């Protein structure tokens, strides 16, 4: 279990442990995690269900270390991939020290929020706090009304309004999370932001660039495999990355490529800039695209693309 080695008594009252954010799609979970960690870690496209991996971001403070597990939105699965994503989410929830239930300040609480609140009530041993996100998009009156509405959905250990965009109340949220973590020495070294291999993060950044500005049917249909990452011979300052995008249908491939390949070039440029910012080095990105028919429903293809049972 993730949290087990966290329960070591630390002589200086340092706390460390695991937290995760859950909520229906597009409530700002990845954006919130990135704001807390201070580096772009999880994919933050505006399309629902686009966070694929359970990527951990790590917040380092003098008094504590918060290891954040980012989960895909809980949803009612339609495909084998959806079922696999949901089983990942539920297994994550039982293995953390704290759950943050995210609800946006600028949208009324709906069926999806209640569906997730019900799921969370089944996770008996883990404390749940409510995080009212996107407060920069709501008036003071809206925020006050939402805080009240949220506290009526279920009993939460705390309710915290935040804005990941402006940074308002992020420090308060950090304090509330830390209160619920066990006393423990740091679990990760100071320089680590995430324990995902770099290739996974690079794949996520390519996927995010490919999703920007395309039609709604595409999010689930793009997978990225990074075949090779290596420093170019004789050039310490340049990293060669060979990556392959997979879609399910030729029509989707056409959308990603765009007119005369313009869109694919834009995707490559956007992804390369993000990867360079993440890795701190110049990057040559070789990006290809292929059709892998109905990969979301095929267990063998899911395994090949990195989604394990």
pLDDT digit string, tens, across residues 3-51:
333 333 344 689 988 898 888 877 888 788 878 887 555 444 444 444 4
Burial class (CB in 10 A: 0-12, 13-18, 19+), 9: exposed
In which band, very low, low, confident or very high, does the pLDDT at 127 lie, cut at 50, 70 and 90? very high
Q: Is 136 annotated as a binding residue?
A: yes
Distance CA 78, CA 86 (A): 11
Q: Is 261 annotated as a binding residue?
A: no
Q: Looking at the predicted structure, is the pLDDT value of residue 108 above 90?
A: yes
Q: Which residue has the higher pLDDT, 124 or 304?
A: 124
Q: Is 194 annotated as a binding residue?
A: no
pLDDT of residue 237: 81
Q: Looking at the predicted structure, is the pLDDT value of residue 85 above 60?
A: no
Q: Is 268 annotated as a binding residue?
A: no
User: How would you write 100-128 as a 3-class SS string?
Assistant: EEEEECCCCCCHHHHHHHHHHHCCCCCCE
Q: Is 113 annotated as a binding residue?
A: no
Residues of the chain with pLDDT > 90, as a percent, come to: 25
Rg (CA), the chain: 20
pLDDT of residue 196: 54
pTM: 0.57
Q: Is 280 annotated as a binding residue?
A: no
pLDDT of residue 45: 42
Q: Is 74 annotated as a binding residue?
A: yes
Domain 15-179 has CATH 3.50.50.100: no
The topology under which CATH files domain 198-305 is GMP Synthetase; Chain A, domain 3 (3.30.300)
Q: Is 17 annotated as a binding residue?
A: no
Q: Is 5 annotated as a binding residue?
A: no
Region 106-133 average pLDDT: 89
Kind and range of the H or E element at 210? helix 198-211
Q: Is 266 annotated as a binding residue?
A: no
Residue 251 tokens read as 């029509």
Mean of pLDDT over the chain: 78
Query: Residue written as tokens 């989410």?
Result: 89
Q: Is 34 annotated as a binding residue?
A: no
Lowest mean pLDDT among 36-45, 125-134, 167-176: 36-45
Nearest CA-CA partner of 240 in 251, 249, 232: 232
pLDDT of residue 70: 61
Residue 47 tokens read as 């399309």
Q: Is 227 annotated as a binding residue?
A: no
Domain ranges of the chain: 15-179, 198-305
pLDDT of residue 245: 86
pLDDT of residue 71: 62
Q: pLDDT of 144-160, one tens digit each? A: 999 999 999 999 999 99
Q: Which residue has the higher pLDDT, 203 or 134?
A: 134
Q: Quick one: DSSP state of residue 57?
A: E
Distance CA 201, CA 301 (A): 20
Q: Is 125 annotated as a binding residue?
A: no
SS3 content of the chain, % helix, strand, coil (to 5): 40, 20, 40
Is residue 247 classed as helix, strand or coil in its secondary structure?
strand
Q: Which residue has the higher pLDDT, 255 or 55?
A: 255
Q: Is 23 annotated as a binding residue?
A: yes
Q: Looking at the predicted structure, is the pLDDT value of residue 53 above 90?
A: no
Nearest CA-CA partner of 149 in 33, 138, 25: 138
């Amino acid at each position: 279990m993730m949290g087990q080695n966290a329960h070591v008594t630390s002589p200086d009252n340092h706390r460390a442990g695991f937290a995760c954010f859950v909520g229906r799609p597009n409530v700002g979970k990845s954006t919130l995690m990135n704001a807390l960690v201070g580096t772009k870690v999880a994919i933050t496209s505006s399309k629902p269900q686009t966070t694929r991996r359970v990527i951990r971001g790590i917040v380092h403070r003098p008094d504590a270390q918060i290891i954040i597990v980012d989960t895909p939105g809980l949803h009612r699965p339609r495909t084998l991939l959806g079922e696999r994503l949901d089983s990942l989410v539920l297994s994550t929830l039982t293995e953390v020290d704290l759950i943050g239930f995210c609800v946006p300040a600028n949208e009324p609480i709906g069926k999806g929020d209640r569906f997730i609140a019900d799921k969370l009530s089944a996770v008996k041993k883990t404390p749940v706090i409510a995080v009212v996100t996107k407060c920069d998009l709501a008036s003071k009156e809206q925020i006050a009304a939402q805080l009240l509405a949220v506290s009526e959905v279920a009993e939460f250990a705390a309710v915290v309004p935040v804005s990941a965009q402006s940074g308002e109340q992020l420090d308060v949220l950090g304090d509330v999370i830390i209160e619920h973590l066990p006393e423990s020495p740091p679990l990760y070294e100071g320089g680590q932001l995430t324990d995902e291999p770099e290739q996974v993060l690079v794949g996520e950044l390519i996927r995010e660039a490919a999703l920007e500005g395309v039609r709604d049917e595409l999010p689930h249909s793009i997978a990225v495999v990074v075949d090779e990452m290596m420093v170019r011979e004789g050039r310490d300052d340049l990293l060669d990355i060979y990556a392959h995008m997979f879609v399910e249908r030729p029509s989707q491939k056409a959308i990603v490529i765009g007119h005369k390949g313009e869109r694919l070039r834009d995707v490559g440029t956007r992804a390369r800039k993000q990867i360079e910012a993440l890795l701190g080095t110049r990057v040559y990105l070789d990006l290809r695209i292929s059709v892998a028919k109905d990969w979301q429903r095929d267990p063998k293809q899911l395994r090949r693309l990195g989604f394990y049972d």
